């Protein structure tokens, strides 16, 4: 069930989205958003946006395969990382809002999977040549912030008010958050690229997974005051789960 090309990856994401939509499961939110980003990366590769398009496709597919492997491990009760297990288990809980589900998926995928994949694609000294293309992904994600906001606003209308009041500050905050997460992933990539001992590498990844899961717990259970805000958002979210998945997948 792993992908070998970006087009194949999109087909597999479509299958997951359809399955989760039919099950009315919040686990369809993340792949719906992920599919959108994947299509944008695919189109940029075709437009020679990256220094090495073939390498970027290997990175993109390898990166996504970690999500696909985790998803299928969860569905078959096989072992998986703590970060992804937390994100998937949240799908059984009616309390998290759409944004929490998206953040839990992004936390596991960017903070854990991205650096690991980058180090696998460009081991040793090769990691340095990857940096520019790695950073170009930030530009793609930043360019999509407004589009994602519009889709989230169709689910939670009050977001339009917040967006209007915040002006460009919310976009800047989103860009800043993306940059922080990807900068951390780049540090992981550089660390792992230089580790040749498999036991040391496994220990590093285990410790990283523990830290990422710990941050995920804060996203999942943000504390009493933020839980009040989450409750208000949940009460004002529009549509049922399948409809929200469709909105994110448009």
26-35, 61-70, 84-93, 220-229: least confident range: 220-229
Model confidence at 176, pLDDT cuts 50, 70, 90, reads: very low
At residue 139, the pLDDT reads 77
Higher pLDDT, 25 or 138: 25
At residue 146, the pLDDT reads 60
Model confidence at 158, pLDDT cuts 50, 70, 90, reads: low
Model confidence at 163, pLDDT cuts 50, 70, 90, reads: very low
Model confidence at 178, pLDDT cuts 50, 70, 90, reads: low
Q: What is the mean pLDDT of residues 57-67?
A: 96
At residue 233, the pLDDT reads 83
Within 10 angstroms of residue 21's Cβ, the number of other Cβ atoms is 19
pLDDT(170) > 50: no
At residue 224, the pLDDT reads 83
Q: What is the mean pLDDT of residues 174-202?
A: 84
Mean confidence (pLDDT) of the chain: 87
Higher pLDDT, 176 or 114: 114
Q: What is the mean pLDDT of residues 13-34?
A: 96
pLDDT(95) > 80: yes
pLDDT(171) > 80: no
Model confidence at 138, pLDDT cuts 50, 70, 90, reads: confident
At residue 244, the pLDDT reads 92
Q: What is the SS3 string spanning the chain?
A: CCCCCHHHHHHHHHHHHHHHHHCCCHHHHHHHHHHHHHHHHHHHHHCCCCCCHHHHHHHHHHHHHHHHHHHHHHHCCCCCCHHHHHHHHHHHCCCCCHHHHHHHHHHHHHHHHHHHHHHHHCCCCHHHHHHHHHHHHHHHHHHCHHHHHHHHHHHCCHHHHHHHHHCCHHHHHHHHHHHHHHHHHHHHHHHHHHCCCHHHHHHHHHHHHHHHHHHHHHHHCCCHHHHHHHHHHHHHCCCCHHHHHHHHCC
pLDDT(159) > 90: no
pTM: 0.89
């Amino acid at each position: 069930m792993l992908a070998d090309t970006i087009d194949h990856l999109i087909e597999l994401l479509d299958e997951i989205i359809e399955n989760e939509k039919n099950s009315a499961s919040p686990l369809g939110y993340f792949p719906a958003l992920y599919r959108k980003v994947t299509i944008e990366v695919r189109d940029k590769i075709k437009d020679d946006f990256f220094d090495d398009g073939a390498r970027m496709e290997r990175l993109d597919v390898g990166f996504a395969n970690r999500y696909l492997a985790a998803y299928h491990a969860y569905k078959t009760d096989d072992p998986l990382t703590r970060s992804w297990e937390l994100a998937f288990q949240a799908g059984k809980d009616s309390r998290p809002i759409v944004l929490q589900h998206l953040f839990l998926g992004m936390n596991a995928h960017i903070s854990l999977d991205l650096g690991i994949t980058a180090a696998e694609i460009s081991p040793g000294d090769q990691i340095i040549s990857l940096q520019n293309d790695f950073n170009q992904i930030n530009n793609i994600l930043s360019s999509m912030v407004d589009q994602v906001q519009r889709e989230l606003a169709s689910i939670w209308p009050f977001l339009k008010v917040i967006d209007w009041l915040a002006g460009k500050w919310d976009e800047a905050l989103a860009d800043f958050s993306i940059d922080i997460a990807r900068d951390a992933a780049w540090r992981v990539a550089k660390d792992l690229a230089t580790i040749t001992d498999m036991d040391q590498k496994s220990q590093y990844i285990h410790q990283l997974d523990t830290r990422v899961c710990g941050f995920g717990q804060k996203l999942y259970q943000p504390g009493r005051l933020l839980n009040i805000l989450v409750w208000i958002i949940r009460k004002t979210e529009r549509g049922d789960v399948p409809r929200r998945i469709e909105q994110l997948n448009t």
